[in-house]
């Protein structure tokens, strides 16, 4: 069970998403600490976008923005190793 204490930026407990009879997300527990970057990896149809929209339903482009930002941070940390302290 995720902790939703003051350090959690994103926390879900048993998150479910259904479309009629189809269950897209089934009891997802997720805890992302404040200041952490996370990504969802998986093949097409693995419900990555559904998860992001369920956590942040107000913006479908939010997931794309986070993905690009994470790539830029990864690139910057390789080019400038002393940047991440």
Q: Which helix (H) or strand (E) holds 83?
A: none
Helix 61-79 × helix 48-55 angle, to 10°: 100
Please state, in angstroms and rounded to a whole number, the distance separating the CA atoms of residues 6 and 69: 24
- In this predicted model, what pLDDT tens digit does every residue of 39-54 receive, in sequence order? 888 889 888 888 888 8
Total-model pTM: 0.54
- In this predicted model, what pLDDT tens digit does every residue of 28-41 receive, in sequence order? 888 888 778 788 88
Can you give the residue ranges of every domain in the chain?
Answer: 8-83
């Amino acid at each position: 069970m995720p902790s939703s204490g003051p350090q959690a930026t994103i926390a879900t407990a048993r998150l479910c998403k259904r479309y009629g009879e189809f269950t897209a997300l089934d009891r997802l527990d997720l805890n992302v600490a404040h200041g952490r970057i996370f990504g969802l990896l998986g093949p097409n149809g693995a419900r990555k976008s559904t998860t992001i929209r369920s956590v942040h339903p107000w913006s479908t482009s939010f997931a794309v923005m986070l993905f690009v930002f994470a790539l830029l941070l990864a690139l910057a940390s390789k080019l400038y190793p002393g940047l991440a302290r």
